[in-house]
Amino acid sequence: TLPVVAIVGRPNVGKSALVNRILGRREAVVEDVPGVTRDRVTYSAEWNGTRFSLVDTGGWEPDAKGIDASVALQAEVAIELCDVVMFVVDSRVGPTATDERVVQLLRRTKKPVFLVANKVDDAVLEAEAAQLWSLGLGEPHTVSALHGRGVADLLDQVIEAL
């Protein structure tokens, strides 16, 4: 069976956009409305000849317990089933309480975790992403899922960790 890379994070940070960027096609549904993802969850991906499964956790809808509990539950499930975690945050919003909650879950796993700072569409936005060091997950990997910026570098490192 293929190694599994899970993409976790709050709604609207660009998880599905990142999936599409990695796949090189538009399979995951990108939505402007936070939390609305109705697509399937697992995709077959490949980078530099290494095949892996890519799990977009956005497929679970927020439940009655609210967005926070939902995101945390998604992250918990994903951490269990994966080999490597990509934790996506919105560099333009900065760390939120929900992000902190996911970080607490991620701290408990020995699996490699990549902090992905998305929406860094240009060099000017790099500086803003530095505040994400405060999450305590090490270096923020700055990317733009929309434009592709930084994604190749990120994937090179993810593959190394598989």
C-alpha of 95 from chain center = 14
- Among 115, 118, 140, 158, the residue binding ligand GDP under the rule CB under 6 A is 118
Judged by CB under 6 A, the chain residues 143 through 162 that form the site for ligand GDP are 144-146
User: Is residue 32 within 8 Å of 54, Cβ to Cβ?
Assistant: no
| Subset of residues 26 to 65 that bind ligand GDP, contact rule: CB under 6 A | 30-32, 37, 58
Query: Rounded distance, CA 145 to CA 150, Å?
Result: 8
How far CA 115 is from CA of 68, 78, 97, in Å, comes to: 19, 15, 16
Q: Does 98 bind ligand GDP (CB under 6 A)?
A: no
140 closest CA partner among 103, 104, 111? 103
Binds ligand GDP by CB under 6 A, chosen from 5, 6, 8, 14: 14
Give the CB-nearest residue to ligand GDP.
14
Which residues are at the interface with ligand GDP (CB under 6 A)?
9, 11-17, 30-32, 37, 58, 118-119, 121, 144-146
